[in-house]
């Protein structure tokens, strides 16, 4: 029987690995979209000797050092610069870095699952990120290869949970690196503070003092990556320029960089509920079932005097982390209905909630062992099966989605941009203006030119790349995009 379970486990593990490979391959060849292209300008400019700067498409369309509008940070973009320095296709080379973080996310979840509840829980936890659907908005997460900071931040938060019990200082460093992958990862700090308190020995004031004693070094290390980055900013701008940099960063964080109609809490929850490859009601019911299994499992384990520190730490950290991310986003009425915003917390903490739910189901079932088929064992098994079925359905939905026809892919973009790239090289064109912001950004970056915006003062006399019909002379045209002469003034 044990041998049969082992064979079944490795067969399912191989199938799940194949699903991850399919999704990664699909993501690597997906359309290179504007936010990715905007992020890519930073490592390209760094290698060109222009410093850690963007093309400033959203900041006046001039080379912009430490652009606050680039919310994906150096934890991601510096490794991308290293990958680009090795040669190869710039888009694929850049996308391999987020893929590496996706693999780290999966590995971290497997370690947590196996540690707390065995290999089957590990398998379930590894499957959960595949059930997430980040495509349903204007600003999507297409897949694990997108050159964005959300998945890297989630991976680093998961590994912070992995090392927290024995190496809290390293957990602090991982959280700090997550912040420099995506600034919003700062919202994870309350979760890790409570996790440290759960892991501390003693009770009452003694426990609080022990928590503070253990927290000072991790807290310092949380700030080290950001401190180093800000020291670099100070050296770049000088004292007065640095203050302007801080004001621009403050304004971007407070405003979200978007100007949209106010959104409501119900709209946000509807959006989050729809961000899975299962119906919204299935996603909501799965979360409820997980919470039930965790709570009952903790109560049962407490009666049996089991060691609760690890599952309790994971349950509280993941619960608080998910609530803070979702709560912040849902109440921030100035932010649009983009699931990207809470995605670092969703991808890091919801799989952990599912893992601890698997632990809870096991605790309930084993608590009744030897006393026949008690109703609580049967119910726990039923709830665990329902959670597993929802996750499996999400994985299947994601894999099915990869086989749907795509109107544009990286290959079609390359074919369309090839003639434009040749024209850019022949004419020694340094800048192209996108008209409007959106799909036109990526082909500009792929062509080798710097990307500005058509309505920026600096772009008045710069040719414009667009997917629309030219109102002036057409300088060069591909199948989907064309370059138009700047308008006469």
Q: Count CB-CB contacts under 10 A for residue 127.
A: 23
With beta carbons less than 8 A apart as the criterion, state whether 190 and 320 touch. Answer: yes
Q: What is the mean pLDDT of residues 295-304?
A: 84
Question: Dihedral through CA 52, CA 56, CA 59, CA 64, nearest 10?
Answer: 30
Task: Give 236-283 pLDDT, tens digit per residue.
Answer: 998 888 898 888 888 877 766 666 778 899 999 999 999 999 999 999
- The mean per-residue pLDDT over the stretch 141-162 comes to 97
Residue 448 CA, distance from chain mean position? 27
Is a pLDDT exceeding 80 seen at residue 393?
Answer: yes
Mean pLDDT of 190-210: 86
Of all residues in the chain, the percent with pLDDT exceeding 70 is: 97
137 versus 73: which is more confidently predicted? 73
| Average pLDDT, rounded, for the chain | 92
The predicted structure's pLDDT at residue 240: 85
Say which residue, 375 or 194, is predicted with more confidence.
194
Domain ranges of the chain: 71-402, 414-484
Could you give the CA distance from residue 143 to residue 439 in angstroms, rounded to a whole number?
18
Q: In angstroms, rounded to a whole number, what is the distance separating the alpha carbons of residues 171 and 10?
A: 31
Chain segment 203-217, per-residue pLDDT in tens: 777 888 888 888 899
| Whole-number pLDDT of residue 483 | 96
User: CA 461, CA 472: separation in Å to the nearest integer?
Assistant: 13
Convert the chain into a string of H (helix), E (strand) and C (coil).
Answer: CHHHHHHHHHHHHHHHHHHHHHHHHHHHCECCCHHHHHHHHHHHHHHCCCCCEECCCCCCCCCEECCCCCCECHHHHHHHHHHHHCCCCHHHHHHHHHHHHHHHHHHHHHHHHHHHHCHHHHHHHHHHHHHECCCCCCCCCCCCCCCCCHHHHHHHHHHHHHHCCCCHHHHHHHHHHHHCCEHHHHHHHHHHHHHHHHHCCCCHHHHHHHHHHHHHHHHHHHHHHHHHHHHHHHHHHHHHHHHHHHHHHHHHHHHCCCCCCCCCHHHHHHHHHCCECCCHHHHHHHHHHHHHHHHHHHHHHHHCCCCCHHHHHHHHHHHHHHHHHHHHHHHCCCCCCCCCCCHHHHHHHHHHHHHHHHHHHHHHHHHCCCCCCCHHHHHHHHHHHHHHHHHHHHHHHHHHHHCCCCCCEHHHHHHHHHHHHHHHHHHCCCEEEEECCCCCHHHHHHHCCEEEECCCHHHCCCCEEECCCCCCCEEEECCCCEEECCCCC
CB 342 within 8 A of CB 331: no
CB 58 within 8 A of CB 453: yes
pLDDT at 256: 65
The per-residue pLDDT for 255 is: 67
Q: Is the peptide bond before 436 cis (omega within 30 degrees of 0)?
A: yes
Written as six digits, the tokens of 84 are 């680009």
Q: Of residues 437 and 36, which shows the higher confidence score?
A: 36
128 versus 255: the higher-pLDDT residue is: 128
> Contact, 244 vs 63, CB < 8 A?
no
Q: Contact, 466 vs 486, CB < 8 A?
A: no
Q: Span 124-142, mean pLDDT?
A: 93
126 near 9, Cβ under 8 Å? Answer: no
Q: Is the pLDDT of residue 308 over 70?
A: yes
pLDDT of residue 257: 65
């Amino acid at each position: 029987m044990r041998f049969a379970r082992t064979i079944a486990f490795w067969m399912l593990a191989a199938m799940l690995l194949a699903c991850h490979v399919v999704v990664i391959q699909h993501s690597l060849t997906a359309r290179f979209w504007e936010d990715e292209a905007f992020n890519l300008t930073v490592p390209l400019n760094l290698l060109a000797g222009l410093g850690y700067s963007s093309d400033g498409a959203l900041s006046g369309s001039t080379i912009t050092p430490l652009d606050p509008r680039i919310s994906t940070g150096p934890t991601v973009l510096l490794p991308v610069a290293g990958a680009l320095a090795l040669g190869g296709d710039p888009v694929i080379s850049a996308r391999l870095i987020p893929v590496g973080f996706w693999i780290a996310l999966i590995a971290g979840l497997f370690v947590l699952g196996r540690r707390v509840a065995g290999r089957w829980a590990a398998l379930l936890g590894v499957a959960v990120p595949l059930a997430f659907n980040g495509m349903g908005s204007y600003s999507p997460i297409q897949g694990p290869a997108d050159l964005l900071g959300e998945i890297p931040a989630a991976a680093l938060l998961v590994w912070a949970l992995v090392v927290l019990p024995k190496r809290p200082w390293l957990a602090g460093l991982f959280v700090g690196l997550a912040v420099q992958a995506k600034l919003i990862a700062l919202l994870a700090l309350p979760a890790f503070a409570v996790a440290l308190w759960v892991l501390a020995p003693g009770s009452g004031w003694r426990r609080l003092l022990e928590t503070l004693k253990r927290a000072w070094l991790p807290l310092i290390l949380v700030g080290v990556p950001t401190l180093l980055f800000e020291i670099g900013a100070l050296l770049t701008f000088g004292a007065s320029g640095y203050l302007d940099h801080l004001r621009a960063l403050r304004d971007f964080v407070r405003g979200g960089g978007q100007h949209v109609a106010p959104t409501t809490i119900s709209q946000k929850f509807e959006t989050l509920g729809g961000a899975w490859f299962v119906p919204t009601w299935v996603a909501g019911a799965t979360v409820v079932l997980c919470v039930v299994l965790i709570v009952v499992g903790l109560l049962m384990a407490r009666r049996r005097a089991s060691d609760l520190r690890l599952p309790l730490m994971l349950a509280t950290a993941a619960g608080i982390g998910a609530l803070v991310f979702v709560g912040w986003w849902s109440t921030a009425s100035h932010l649009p209905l983009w699931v990207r915003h809470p995605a670092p917390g969703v991808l890091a903490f919801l799989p952990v909630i599912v893992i601890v739910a698997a632990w809870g189901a096991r605790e309930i079932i084993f608590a009744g062992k030897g006393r026949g088929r008690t109703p609580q064992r049967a119910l726990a098994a039923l709830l665990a099966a329902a959670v597993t079925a929802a996750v499996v359905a999400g994985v299947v939905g994601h894999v099915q989605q990869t086989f749907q026809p795509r109107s544009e892919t990286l290959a079609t973009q390359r074919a369309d941009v090839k003639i434009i790239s040749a024209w850019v090289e022949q004419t020694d064109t340094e800048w192209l203006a996108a008209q409007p912001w959106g799909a036109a950004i990526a082909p500009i970056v792929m062509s080798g030119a710097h990307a500005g915006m058509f309505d920026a003062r600096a772009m008045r006399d710069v040719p414009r790349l667009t997917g629309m019909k030219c109102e002036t002379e057409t300088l060069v045209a591909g199948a989907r995009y064309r370059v138009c002469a700047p308008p006469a003034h």
